[in-house]
Amino acid sequence: MGNKITYDREVALDTLKEVFGFQSFRPNQEEIISHLLNRQDVFAVMPTGGGKSLCYQLPARLMNGTTVVISPLISLMKDQVDAALENGISAAFINSSLTPKETSSIFRSLKSNAFDMLYIAPERFAMPDFLKTLQTVPISLFAIDEAHCISEWGHDFRPDYLSLSHITESFPGVPVAAFTATATQKVQNDIIGKTRLRSPFTIRASFNRHNLFYRVENKRELKTQVLNVLRKYPGEPGIIYRTSRDSVSAMAGMLQDNGIKALPYHAGLTQEERRTNQDAFNRDEVHVIVATIAFGMGIDKSNVRFIIHADLPKNIEGYYQETGRSGRDGEPAECILFFSRGDIPKVRYFIDRTEDQREQAVAKEKLYQVVKYASHNVCRRRQLLEYFGEEYKVDNCKSCDICTGNIEKVDVTIDARKLMSAISRTGQRFGIMHIIDIVTGGNTKRMRELGHDKIKTYGAGRDRDKNHWRFIVDELLAQEIINQDGDRYPLLKITEKGKEVLFGDEKVSALKREEPKKKSRTRQESELRDFDKALFEKLRFLRKSLADQQHVPPFIIFSDRTLHDMCRHYPVTQHEMAEITGVGAAKLDRYGEEFMKEIREYMKKQRVRGVQGSRA
């Protein structure tokens, strides 16, 4: 089925402006849209926040028939449909949250060609009766979201997705688009093969999220460290990821005790509790969600300003996807990882319980990549992009802790040899803290009982504190000069590379990094403050009121980016408001006057002079 249409750039740009309120396409969007309108299959890897939903929403508006969007994110479908309706696009969803009566009503509307878009879960597509129904109505396009779920090589394989391999066979004349935010080349090839895309136009967009700032800190006083981050973002939305349910509950309670509006989210809560907490976060009723990785797949909240990983992620794909939930509106956001090597055995414990040896080996390799990312003093952005096969040629990204800190390259060969000598002289049978106690001359009962206070290296590094020696250990581990063996009580071992340092002429250097002074703001932080904050609070309050009246999250009315734009340009006429990013015709008609009225009153009270539009 489907319809014959060819790409008309003028029509596409008019629709982009009229319906979505954008003046121009983001990178790759136009190429994808043009191929879909020319009825060619598409495979696209686009990072979260890259604007992939527009790639099928705009064709859905222009093509005859219904665009079927297949997504596992049941909790997100209502928000996606509400957002489409706000833009004047007819849309609906069918999933297990609907009553039989509601589902029947949507089926009747579907058969009468009432929808531009229909969202369904993959298990719905697998139902024979549903497939037969689809074959009786005009379908314009299939869009498979979270397409990595079809690949066993991906980080979130879902067997329900395998039924999607029948789409091209059952609907031979309908274009199919598969989208994912994270896919290595191997996963990409697997997705294209399993979905049976027909000579697809393929896009691998840059994984570089320019508006995200990446930072890694050694995890020491976690409570204090987390509270320090939150003080930078008073009243701003953020997500804190923890590994276990208990740690989620404990941290949410700690934040509440410190006057922060926070709620937990994990699999131990009832479905109703999870839904209620998620809705409270989406609707700006609480500022922080503390969650396991079970949270996030079902949110489309555009104004998350920070992501904290308080424990070590299992793999780079998951970390990238979780950090990608911040700054979806294109505004600056910060991603902080609190790293401790003590977290490694905790992750290894779960990996070692995997019976499949191949899966276990893959998981260990992925864990190694995360540790490498956290412990190497190399541009965070470069490391992330290289993991996904993308070369980053810029010397300084200016948006990570490595590139914005003061870095000095120092020779640590002598200290490295002291440390490795202690490891060697004790038979490579002890862990980090005991080895550090040896070089710093720790006067402990265990030290005397083992006779380690008599070895040559004992006290050789007492002129430096334990933090320095921990830094040396981390550098040697990161450079694979030593490694850790064992899970519960990991022991330090000297590698072949390390023997060249200890017994040969090889030198060791390290990058000593100092945090930038507090006066020095990052580029993102400066941009984030470049708007009228007092007006922003008034518009945010108005947005929340309107959202509550309509029972939708505030970001569906307008994103923070749109409000920031209003707070820079003070639009008070229909024409001026139509020029604001994210204000399409439907939203202008529905909300324009109320926001312009608020801006006019604010300008009058503030006696603003010389601002474009102030004459109104």
Please choose, from the candidates 596, 534, 584, 585, the residue with its C-alpha nearest in 3D space to the C-alpha of residue 559.
584
**610 pLDDT higher than 60:** no
Structural domain total, the chain: 4
Task: Please indicate, yes or no, if residue 504 is contained in any of the structural domains.
Answer: yes
Q: Does residue 505 lie in a domain region?
A: yes
Q: Which residue has the tokens 């596409």?
A: 12
Q: How high is the pLDDT of residue 614?
A: 42
Residues 328 and 369 reside in one and the same domain: yes
Secondary element (H or E) of residue 212: strand 212-218
Mean pLDDT for 311-338 is 91
One domain, residues 545 and 501: no
Chosen domain end from 405, 425, 453: 405
73 and 17, same structural domain? yes
d(CA 389, CA 156): 20
How many whole angstroms from its chain centre is CA 125?
Answer: 28
User: pLDDT value at position 358?
Assistant: 85
Query: Which is higher by pLDDT, 373 or 615?
Result: 373
**Are residues 467 and 453 part of one domain?**
yes
Report d(CA 299, CA 279) in Å as an integer.
9
- Token reading at 525: 């932080």
Predicted TM-score (pTM) of the model is 0.74
Mean pLDDT of 233-260: 94
Rounded alpha-carbon distances, angstroms, from residue 245 to 251, 295, 350, 395, 535: 10, 12, 15, 40, 39
Element at 227 (helix H, strand E): helix 222-232
Is pLDDT of 211 > 80? Answer: yes
Are 176 and 252 contained in the same domain? no
In this structure, what CATH number is given to the domain that contains residue 369? 3.40.50.300
Per the structure, the complete domain to which residue 147 belongs is given by 9-204
The angle, 0 to 180 degrees and rounded to 10, between the axes of the packed helices 432-439 and 466-478 is 130
pLDDT tens for 169-206 read: 999 989 999 998 877 788 888 889 999 999 999 999 88
Which of 72, 74, 66, 71 minimizes the C-alpha distance to 90? 66
CA distances from 114 to 65, 81, 330 (A): 9, 14, 33
**Rounded Cα–Cα distance for residues 337 and 402 (Å):** 13
Average confidence score pLDDT of the chain: 87
SS3 content of the chain, % helix, strand, coil (to 5): 50, 15, 40
Question: Which of 17-31, 296-310, 472-486, 520-534 bottoms out in mean pLDDT, i.e. has the lowest?
Answer: 520-534
CA nearest 456: which of 473, 441, 436, 472?
Answer: 441
Does residue 3 lie within any of the structural domains? no
612 pLDDT band, cuts 50/70/90, is very low
Q: What is the percent of the chain where pLDDT is above 90? A: 53
Confidence bin at 364 (pLDDT 50/70/90): confident
3-state secondary structure 309-339: ECCCCCCHHHHHHHHCCCCCCCCCEEEEEEE
* Per-residue pLDDT tens over the stretch 78-131: 888 998 999 999 999 998 888 899 999 999 999 889 999 999 988 888 888 888
Q: Final residue of a domain: which of 204, 237, 270?
A: 204
In a domain, 87, yes or no: yes
Residue 567, in any domain of the structure: yes
User: Contact 346/318 with Cβ under 8 angstroms?
Assistant: no
